[in-house]
A and B are shown apart, each in its own frame.
Chain A
Amino acid sequence: MKPWILPLILASSAVPAIVIFFLGEKRNVARAVLSLGGAVLKLGLILYMAVLVLEDQQLETRVPLLDGFELVLRGDALGFLFVTLSTVLWFVTTVYVVGYFREGGQRRRFFGFFNLCVTATVGIALSGNLITFLFFYELLTLSTYPLVVHRGDAESLRAGRTYLAYTLTGGAVLFFAIVWLHSLAGSFPFTQGGALVSGPRAQLVAIFALFIVGLGVKTAIVPLHSWLPAAMVAPAPVSALLHAVAVVKAGAFGIVRVVYEVYGVDLCSQLGVLGPLAAVACFTIAYAAVKALAQRDIKRLLAYSTISQVSYIVLGVALFGPLGSLGGVSHLVHQGIMKITLFFCAGIFAQDLGVTKLAQMDGLGRRMPLTTLAFTIGALGMMGLPPFAGFVSKWYLGTGALAAGSPWVIPVLLLSTGMNAAFFFPPLYAAWFKERTEPWPREEKQSARFETTPWLLAPPLVTAVLTILVGLFAASPFSVKAWVLTIVTREYLP
């Protein structure tokens, strides 16, 4: 079982994807069963993998293609964190997707590429070296494009073109960085504490910059972020996916890998690249938060909020010291859970009531109490209030900044918290405390028992509960925080 577990984890979504492409358009049940079945299987395999990783067993699969060029899959602590996040959130998104497409529209294509997408994300998480990472990174671009343009209208196609232009260029820059590094240092796997020991300074700095640009496109670092608000035209499950799990996290995860396991945090500090990286991250956090304030469309607001929040991860990585890293890497999980909740809710508001703008949110709390509650929890988590998940990561980022001797980060964090409150508070107030004066923009006939179908309602409730639990139990040994602590300790004291 052991040598096969990693490819099997990939196959649990790749095989359903291929089968779904061959099934007829009308086979809804078969499609749903395959997707959900694959997701459950993947969850089971991840649990098994957890046991093995805790026992510190080496899980590795190698596929040599050429001399000095091989594909490596590896199950290590950091990869496990990302793969678990991906798998759990994928499972809930699959449930959500089943409920979202009630009739019509190319479901075969959607489910097929959806599953291919999760294969790519899991592949990124399990990559053991830069080459394998690149393979899955480009597969992610290719498999998300049909999802972004799914609706097939002019706006979607335009957004898709922007998306491709940005992500393919980012991929090319990343390709360049990897080949250049290979010319300098040969091929090597991701190594805790950093694989590079030393090298010509100017070149290493240049390559690092290229890595950040190449990965930064998917991470939506300003000014490489424009594709993300444009991609909001995609169906809600796609936005939930892109923003919570797949694309942005893949980019951020890549930056974590490069700083920790390619260069190593010591070398980065010596090269002096951490300071500029932190500055770029802070600028993104601030700029995107300001832009979010100006948004009127719910999903675009969430998009800018994502751009701002994902840079917390980059900031955490750029702060030299275990506390900052703890904050940054744990935010990878926390932001994922919170943001997906928000997008799920936004999708329900749009699908069932036609509510897409902030101004239309009056009285939502009364009409859809559970959904609005989930939305509220997500929003409060974004603001960084205890006991929600977001608070934990912000706390460690703050203390990490102080420990690293970069106290200027604290005002940025506070400002960001303030701005998050500023743009989330008005819609929350309107939803709970304002009376509805006009009819809903487009009301669908609903089942009498729940505010919307259980398929759509369950996922945001589950992730909202997770947001609370992850925050509350942060101190426990099974929490995300404890897991990240293991990763970070292994990085600083290899």
Chain B
Amino acid sequence: MMDTATLLLPCVIVVPVLAAAAALAVGPKLSPLVAAVALAAVSVVVGLVTEGVLDEGLLRHTLGGWDAPLGIALEVGGMGALLLVTNTAVMVVVSVYALSYLPRQHDASADATRLFWPLWLLLLGGLNGLAVSADLFNLYVCLEVTGLSAAALVALSGKHALVPGLRYVLVSLVGSTLYLLAVALLYGEYGVVDLAAIRDEARSTTGTIVGLGLITGGLLLKSAILPLHFWLPPAHGGALSPISAVLSALVVKASFFLLVRLWEGVFHDVVKTAALELLGVLGVVAIVWGSVEAMRQRRLKMLVAYSTVAQLGYLMLAFPLGVHDVARALAWEGAMLFLVGHALAKAAAFLAAGSFQYALHGDDLHRLPGGAQHLPVTTVSFALAGVALVGLPPSGTFMAKWMLLRAAITAGRFDLAVVILVGSLLAAGYVFPVLRRALCQPRDDSRWRDAARPSWLMESSTLVLALIAALLGFFIAAPSALLRMDLTRLFLAGGAL
């Protein structure tokens, strides 16, 4: 007999998907209400699930009582629960922002009001599905749902976003196709799609290697890991800000999480050290190159988008660090905490950028002087998000970098330790010039006289997210506990993640 948390687990997927349909049916006026109810319900379920995970370590729900290999199972451990919490929290706050922001957008396509909330809810369903699905095919479905709804949201943002949106659709489909090919190969190889079952059988055959390679290619593409990142800056920089926030904070992380599950959980005994080192190199290049590109941008949202490319590099560093057993658990704890910390910070940064863009009718950096005086709350929010992006205490990303650094030093990888530190300085290199401009006096005040005022809902939701990102270090005990449960289970007992 399953307890409440396990019983309700499918709701994290089903409720948003059903609500999406409902939102489409009731039309643009009432769809925010449907979304609010759905988000509230999902929050409650996620809370219960997290509590359940803290009690039992792993929750497994078999739909309809049919277990693998024929049925669909959902499984969530500490990492999955943390991801669920992050998804829900960011979605809720950004939804509050979107509620106020959307009616003020006149450039968005005519369909935007009608389709935003349904697509938004569908996206949440897909993201949650990626966190809790336990077999390859279910994961494929969730990947597709996530990718297509995200791409559609980008395309909704207006004429200038059509090309990036279309590119995103293509990229998403290519990624999913690679993934599907791989699933076919792996199914042919192992005869099952359930992750735990594959893990038990995993062996180093050509089919496995090729399959894993294809999946990795697809997932790296979806996570915008350099050099497959080219689609991200235009898409995230061009979309409406709440959409950009969720894309950078959650969507790219979901496919990355899947990558981690496969490499470290399922196929850990199969992958070669050289491959892990290669992933690490991609991470290093992403950190350096992404930061340099961010420093060169003239538009705030493009700067923040390139920052995402750079910061994703940190996540990749856990792969080579994990090669050394002494550092493995610490490296992955750091990487996952970084994932959460960055999600909060990046969402806040995009929301702040959106407020600036709304006020100044454009997000060019040269419009920012005077920002600190006229939009103090938004400037402070960006500053706090910046503190978290650079990784200064007491942010969650600082704690994550602490762990990554400790892992690097324990593993003797001083080269990676230097990269981690240099990355922080490079991030400061693109964050502080923005703040510097905002603190400057403008040459003439005319721009500010014509400025629109962001609503208090927009400003306060941004500030809340930024404060959480900047102060997460003080509350790191709970996320850490969730992660450690999974890491112990994974690395000592050989679980499947």
Interface residues of A (CB under 8 A from B): 21, 63-66, 69, 106, 109, 134-135, 138-139, 142, 145-146, 149, 152-153, 157, 160-161, 164, 168-169, 171-173, 175-176, 179-180, 182-183
Q: Is the CB of A66 within 8 A of B477?
A: yes
Q: Is the CB of B409 within 8 A of A172?
A: no
Offer 11 A-B interface pairs, CB within 8 angstroms, sorted by A: A64-B477, A65-B476, A66-B476, A164-B428, A164-B432, A175-B421, A179-B402, A179-B405, A179-B409, A179-B417, A182-B406
Also in contact, A183 and B406, with CB within 8 A (given A65-B474, A66-B477): yes
Q: Known pairs A63-B474, A139-B393. 17 more at Cβ < 8 A? A: A64-B477, A66-B399, A106-B373, A109-B372, A135-B393, A138-B392, A138-B393, A160-B436, A168-B428, A173-B421, A176-B417, A176-B421, A179-B402, A179-B409, A179-B417, A180-B409, A182-B406
Closest residue of chain B to A180 (Cβ to Cβ) is B409
Q: Does B440 contact A (CB under 8 A)?
A: yes
Chain B residues with CB below 8 A from A180, complex form = 409
Chain A residues with CB below 8 A from B421, complex form = 172-173, 175-176
Chain B residues with CB below 8 A from A179, complex form = 402, 405-406, 409, 417
Q: Is the CB of A69 within 8 A of B409?
A: no
Number of A-B contacts (CB under 8 A): 66
Chain A residues with CB below 8 A from B376, complex form = 21
Distance, CA A182 to CA B403, complexed state (A): 11
Closest residue of chain A to B418 (Cβ to Cβ) is A176
B residues 376-401 near A (Cβ < 8 Å) are 376, 387, 390, 392-394, 399
Q: Is the CB of B402 within 8 A of A69?
A: yes
> Closest approach, in angstroms, between the C-beta of B422 and any C-beta of chain A?
8
Distance, CA A69 to CA B401, complexed state (A): 14
Interface residues of B (CB under 8 A from A): 372-373, 376, 387, 390, 392-394, 399, 402, 405-406, 409-410, 417, 421-422, 424-425, 428, 432, 436, 439-441, 473-474, 476-477, 480
Across the interface, B439 reaches (CB within 8 A) one of A21, A63, A152, namely A152
Q: Is the CB of A168 within 8 A of B473?
A: no
> Closest approach, in angstroms, between the C-beta of A306 and any C-beta of chain B?
25
Closest residue of chain A to B417 (Cβ to Cβ) is A176
Q: Is the CB of A65 within 8 A of B393?
A: no
Also in contact, A66 and B480, with CB within 8 A (given A138-B392, A164-B428): yes
Chain B residues with CB below 8 A from A171, complex form = 392
Closest residue of chain B to A141 (Cβ to Cβ) is B392
Closest residue of chain B to A64 (Cβ to Cβ) is B477
Chain A residues with CB below 8 A from B410, complex form = 183
Chain B residues with CB below 8 A from A160, complex form = 436
Closest residue of chain B to A25 (Cβ to Cβ) is B373
Please indicate which of the listed interface residues A169, A171, A175 has the most CB atoms of chain B within 10 Å of its own CB. Answer: A175
Across the interface, A142 reaches (CB within 8 A) one of B387, B405, B417, B436, namely B387
Q: Is the CB of A172 within 8 A of B417?
A: no
Distance, CA A139 to CA B405, complexed state (A): 21
Distance, CA A139 to CA B387, complexed state (A): 10
Distance, CA A203 to CA B239, complexed state (A): 49
Q: Is the CB of A149 within 8 A of B399?
A: no
Q: Is the CB of B480 within 8 A of A149?
A: no
Chain A residues with CB below 8 A from B390, complex form = 168
> Closest approach, in angstroms, between the C-beta of B107 and any C-beta of chain A?
33
Closest CB pairs A-B (n = 6): A135-B393, A179-B405, A172-B421, A183-B409, A152-B441, A138-B392
Closest residue of chain A to B410 (Cβ to Cβ) is A183
Distance, CA A157 to CA B435, complexed state (A): 11
Q: Is the CB of A176 within 8 A of B477?
A: no
Distance, CA A140 to CA B474, complexed state (A): 18
Q: Is the CB of B473 within 8 A of A65?
A: yes
Chain A residues with CB below 8 A from B399, complex form = 65-66, 69
Chain B residues with CB below 8 A from A161, complex form = 432, 436
Please indicate which of the listed interface residues B392, B406, B410 has the most CB atoms of chain A within 10 Å of its own CB. Answer: B392
Chain B residues with CB below 8 A from A145, complex form = 432
Across the interface, B394 reaches (CB within 8 A) one of A135, A146, A164, namely A135
Chain B residues with CB below 8 A from A139, complex form = 393
Distance, CA A161 to CA B376, complexed state (A): 21
> Closest approach, in angstroms, between the C-beta of B436 and any C-beta of chain A?
6
> Closest approach, in angstroms, between the C-beta of B349 and any C-beta of chain A?
17
Closest residue of chain B to A182 (Cβ to Cβ) is B406
Chain A residues with CB below 8 A from B477, complex form = 64-66
Chain B residues with CB below 8 A from A183, complex form = 406, 409-410
Chain A residues with CB below 8 A from B432, complex form = 145, 161, 164
> Closest approach, in angstroms, between the C-beta of B82 and any C-beta of chain A?
15
Distance, CA A171 to CA B427, complexed state (A): 14
Chain A residues with CB below 8 A from B480, complex form = 66
Distance, CA A65 to CA B405, complexed state (A): 17
Also in contact, A134 and B439, with CB within 8 A (given A109-B372, A169-B425): no
Also in contact, A172 and B425, with CB within 8 A (given A66-B480, A179-B409, A183-B406): yes
Distance, CA A180 to CA B409, complexed state (A): 6
Closest residue of chain B to A106 (Cβ to Cβ) is B373
Closest residue of chain A to B481 (Cβ to Cβ) is A66
Chain A residues with CB below 8 A from B373, complex form = 106
Q: Is the CB of A149 within 8 A of B436?
A: yes
Chain A residues with CB below 8 A from B394, complex form = 135
Distance, CA A164 to CA B436, complexed state (A): 11
Chain A residues with CB below 8 A from B417, complex form = 176, 179
Q: Is the CB of B425 within 8 A of A168?
A: yes
> Closest approach, in angstroms, between the C-beta of A214 and any C-beta of chain B?
11
Please indicate which of the listed interface residues B421, B432, B436, B440 has the most CB atoms of chain A within 10 Å of its own CB. Answer: B436
